[in-house]
């Protein structure tokens, strides 16, 4: 057995003293790298923060790093956006809050209901019925396109024909698709780049005179984020023991009550993590907002890019103020909900 | 025994309960049908037509494949595919090597197990890969510009591999027995929460070589006049850096959770037996991490194809078209009211995305899962 004294310095630095502990050299290395990455993460944020209190001269004359030492911080951009010109900022901010919150809420409700249903109820839509539906819709679209029929009438007729056919000849079809196929179909919607669907959505809302309204953005965001909710919540619902629900159903609770009073409370950690993720996505979404909102429903990411449009060039200081006030609420939420995220809630769905 | 007469509300709630299995799933199906499937079909129709906005209404004219033709062979070819001016020898060698590798791959599949659907799928994937390889060889390896398709693929592969490497590294670091793990976790998570636009503009400030925070450094290197947005490759790398900064936290947080889920006893046993850190990682951690890692990369792959905000803000697609992703290309086409082109490009993007993601899922993710039944 080698004597401790004879070991070289290097060995002592890099050999773990005990299981589950780090050698001093390794510790130095690990903490060093972690600090470097913290700097990489925090420095851009620091730069945005100090740019928001710089004057135009300080921004344009070259880099200055430390407030009160390098330059005199001033709140002129903050005052301009929050006091003098507060209407525009406030409106965008409130729009963003309304749209992000409502679309997240809708998305979570619809998504977790669908996820629960797919995890617990077995669906067997007949293959033939789906085919008829697709054909009816194609026929409906064709009549609108070719003969200029009003689209509401044509859709209504198509749905009525489909319903009639399903009721009459539906039972002769035998092949059906299962829950797994429905789940895959829903999740695969996430592959769609928004740019593919946004032009028709734009025209649809234009047709309904709903462009630049909150509802248009709420619905669109909901659908864009729905696949994520279904995916994450499906796995979570599957991991909830089924016995509780069965005993509730034996006691005569309806499925809605079981869902509301037993499943949802048990799924809370998953709901929290999913909510945070969807909220972040809805809060930060830009490209759909560009298409669907112009002034009334303008969200705050649009306000950020609006600081670029003036003839004075980019108003870096104002832009940084907007970015800072955009980040603050999300960071608070994340700190509140971080224990749910770190618990590996998102992991469940990813395990495959 | 007779049932007591029930009130209308009780009957209604009973009916509601009977219909609950339909009611649970209908909202999601309806929303997806209206806002996802209908636009998808409408977009296809637009892609095959010329679309003109008139005052208050629009006019659609069927033009067949002309929009697509323009992208592949017509006036937009340089924009979408890149510039072709003859292939260099090196390009030919690489293209032929890729072709042989793909044929061998198909041959091996036929030898092992043959299923006609799997074979057709593999032929589609192989043709796609060969087409992309040919494109890559004819443009980049022959020293010509490549178009938005090549740029998109560059973003996807460079971005995903950077994010995976750094995200995995950080997750491994954070899984060590360190103090302040929660602190680091929250700090590292922050970039994911910032709007891509904010990131775009913040990185534009940081990258400014004359007024940005690193300008003394640039001046010291004698690169004071250098600008990220005038050199095509520098601009592309710059966008990958911004994208990676945003998405590393996502890879990190999920991989960290996966590492923490691995039971510690194997690792400790290996440590007692005197295995080195690298051996422990390769033999114990990595195989158990693999399914999660493959799925995380699939998610990132899907999202990376949609990249549009960052190039739009950081470089506006410039210099020239050097940083234009396909989404951005489509967006620019929409902005110039050329809706047919816009939809055609969007559909091409969808096609590339679906084929590549499905290939990745079928050949990599499922293959890995089968090899490691954990």
DSSP of A166-184? HHHHGGG---B--HHHHHH
% of chain B residues with pLDDT over 70: 93
Report the distance separating Cα B171 and Cα A138, nearest Å.
49
Whether B227 shows a pLDDT value over 80: the answer reads no
- The predicted structure's pLDDT at residue B24: 87
All residues at 6 or more sequence positions from B272 whose CB lies less than 8 Å from its CB, including other chains: A19
Residue of B nearest to A186 (CA): B32
Q: DSSP letter at B6?
A: P
* Terminal-residue alpha carbon distance, chain A: 48
Residues from chain A contacting residue B342 (CB–CB below 8 Å): 195, 199
Structure tokens at B264: 């510690």
Whether B364 shows a pLDDT value over 50: the answer reads yes
> Is pLDDT larger for residue A311 or for residue B187?
B187
User: By mean pLDDT, which of B54-58, B129-133, B242-246 is the weakest?
Assistant: B54-58
Of B201, B295, B350, the CB nearest to A352: B295
Task: Tell me the per-residue pLDDT of A108-163, one tens digit each, with 9 for 90 and over.
Answer: 999 999 999 988 888 888 888 888 888 888 888 788 777 777 777 888 888 888 88
Helix H or strand E segment including B53: strand B49-53
Mutate to test the interface with A, among B37, B198, B308 (most CBs of A within 10 A): B198
Whether A4 shows a pLDDT value over 60: the answer reads no
CATH 1.10.3720.10 residue ranges for chain A: 85-123+186-350
Mark yes or no for CB contact A350/B313 under 8 Å: no
Instruction: Kindly report the average pLDDT of chain A as a whole number.
Output: 82
Residues from chain B contacting residue A59 (CB–CB below 8 Å): 211
CATH code of A85-123+186-350, in short, is 1.10.3720.10
Whether A347 shows a pLDDT value over 80: the answer reads no
Task: Tell me the per-residue pLDDT of B165-217, one tens digit each, with 9 for 90 and over.
Answer: 999 999 988 888 888 888 888 888 888 888 888 888 888 888 877 777 887 77
- The CA distance from B87 to the nearest CA of chain A, in Å, is 32
Burial group, residue B222, by CB count within 10 angstroms (0-12, 13-18, 19+): exposed
Cβ–Cβ < 8 Å for B47, B345:
no
What is the architecture, at CATH level 2, of domain B149-371?
Answer: Orthogonal Bundle (1.10)
Q: Is B177 on the interface with A (CB under 8 A)?
A: yes
User: By mean pLDDT, which of B94-108, B129-143, B152-166, B195-209 is the weakest?
Assistant: B129-143
% of chain A residues with pLDDT over 90: 11
Whether B373 shows a pLDDT value over 50: the answer reads no
Report the distance separating Cα B178 and Cα B170, nearest Å.
13
Q: Is B215 on the interface with A (CB under 8 A)?
A: yes
Burial group, residue B278, by CB count within 10 angstroms (0-12, 13-18, 19+): exposed
User: If we measure between CA atoms, which residue out of B298, B187, B66 comes closest to residue B290?
Assistant: B298
Task: Tell me the per-residue pLDDT of B11-25, one tens digit each, with 9 for 90 and over.
Answer: 887 787 777 888 888
DSSP of A318-341? HHHHHHHHHHHHHHHHHHHHHHHH
């Amino acid at each position: 057995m080698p004597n401790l004294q004879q070991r070289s310095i290097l060995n002592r630095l890099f050999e773990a003293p005990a299981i589950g502990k780090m050698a001093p050299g390794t510790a130095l290395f690990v903490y060093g790298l972690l600090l470097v990455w913290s700097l990489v993460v925090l420095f851009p944020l620091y730069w945005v923060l100090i740019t928001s209190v710089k004057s135009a001269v300080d921004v344009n004359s070259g880099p200055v790093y430390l407030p009160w030492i390098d330059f005199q911080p001033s709140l002129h951009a903050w005052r301009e956006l929050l006091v003098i010109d507060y209407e525009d900022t406030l409106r965008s901010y409130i729009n963003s809050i309304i749209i992000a919150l409502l679309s997240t809420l809708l998305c979570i409700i619809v998504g977790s209901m669908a996820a629960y249903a797919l995890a617990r109820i077995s669906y067997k839509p007949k293959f033939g019925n789906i085919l008829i539906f697709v054909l009816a819709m194609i026929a409906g679209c064709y009549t609108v396109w070719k003969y200029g029929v009003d689209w509401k009438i044509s859709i209504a007729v198509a749905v009525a024909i489909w319903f009639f056919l399903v009721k009459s000849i539906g039972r002769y079809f035998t092949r059906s698709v299962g829950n797994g196929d429905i789940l895959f179909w829903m999740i695969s919607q996430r592959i769609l780049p928004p740019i593919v669907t946004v032009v028709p959505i734009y025209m649809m809302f234009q047709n309904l005179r709903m462009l630049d309204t909150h509802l248009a953005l709420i619905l669109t965001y909901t659908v864009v984020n729905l696949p994520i909710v279904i995916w994450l919540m499906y796995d979570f619902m599957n991991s909830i023991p089924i016995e509780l629900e069965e005993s509730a159903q034996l006691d005569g609770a309806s499925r809605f009550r079981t869902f509301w009073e037993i499943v949802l409370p048990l799924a809370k950690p998953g709901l929290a993590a999913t909510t945070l993720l969807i909220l972040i996505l809805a809060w930060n979404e830009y490209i759909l907002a560009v298409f669907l909102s112009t002034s009334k429903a303008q969200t705050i990411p649009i306000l950020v890019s609006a600081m670029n449009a003036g003839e004075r060039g980019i108003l870096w200081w104002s832009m940084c103020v907007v970015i800072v006030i955009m980040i603050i609420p999300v960071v608070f939420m994340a700190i509140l909900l971080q224990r749910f995220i770190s618990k590996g809630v998102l992991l469940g769905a990813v395990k495959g | 025994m007779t049932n007591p007469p029930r009130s209308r509300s009780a009957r209604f709630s009973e009916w509601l309960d009977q219909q609950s299995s339909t009611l649970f799933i209908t909202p999601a199906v309806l929303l997806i049908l209206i806002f996802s499937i209908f636009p998808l079909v409408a977009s296809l129709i637009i892609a095959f037509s010329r679309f003109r906005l008139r005052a208050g209404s629009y006019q659609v004219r069927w033009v067949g494949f002309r929009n697509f033709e323009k992208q592949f062979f017509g006036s937009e070819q340089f924009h979408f595919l890149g510039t072709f001016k003859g292939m260099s020898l090196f390009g030919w060698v690489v293209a032929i090597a890729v072709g042989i590798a793909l044929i061998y791959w198909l041959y091996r599949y036929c030898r092992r197990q043959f299923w006609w659907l799997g074979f057709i799928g593999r032929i589609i994937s192989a043709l796609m890969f060969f087409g992309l390889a040919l494109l890559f060889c004819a443009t980049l390896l022959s020293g010509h510009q490549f178009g938005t398709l090549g740029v998109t693929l560059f973003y996807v592969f460079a971005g995903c591999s950077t994010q995976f490497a750094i995200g995995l590294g950080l997750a491994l670091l954070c899984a060590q027995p360190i103090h302040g793990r929660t602190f680091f976790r929250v700090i590292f998570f922050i970039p994911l929460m910032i709007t891509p636009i904010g990131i775009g503009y913040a990185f534009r400030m940081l990258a400014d070589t004359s007024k940005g925070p690193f300008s003394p450094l640039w001046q010291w290197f004698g690169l004071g006049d250098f600008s990220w947005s005038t050199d095509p490759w520098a601009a592309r790398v710059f966008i990958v850096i911004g994208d990676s900064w945003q998405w590393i936290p996502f890879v990190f947080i999920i991989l960290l959770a996966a590492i923490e889920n691995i039971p510690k006893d194997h690792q400790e046993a290996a440590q007692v037996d005197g295995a080195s850190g690298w051996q422990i990682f390769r033999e114990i951690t990595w195989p158990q991490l693999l399914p999660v890692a493959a799925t995380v990369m699939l998610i990132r792959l899907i999202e990376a194809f949609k990249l549009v905000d960052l190039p739009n803000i950081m470089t506006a697609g410039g210099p020239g078209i050097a940083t234009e992703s396909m989404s951005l290309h489509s967006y620019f086409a929409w902005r110039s009211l050329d809706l047919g082109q816009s939809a055609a490009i969007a559909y091409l993007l969808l096609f590339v995305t679906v084929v590549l993601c499905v290939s990745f899922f079928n050949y990599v993710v499922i293959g890995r899962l089968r090899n490691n039944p954990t």
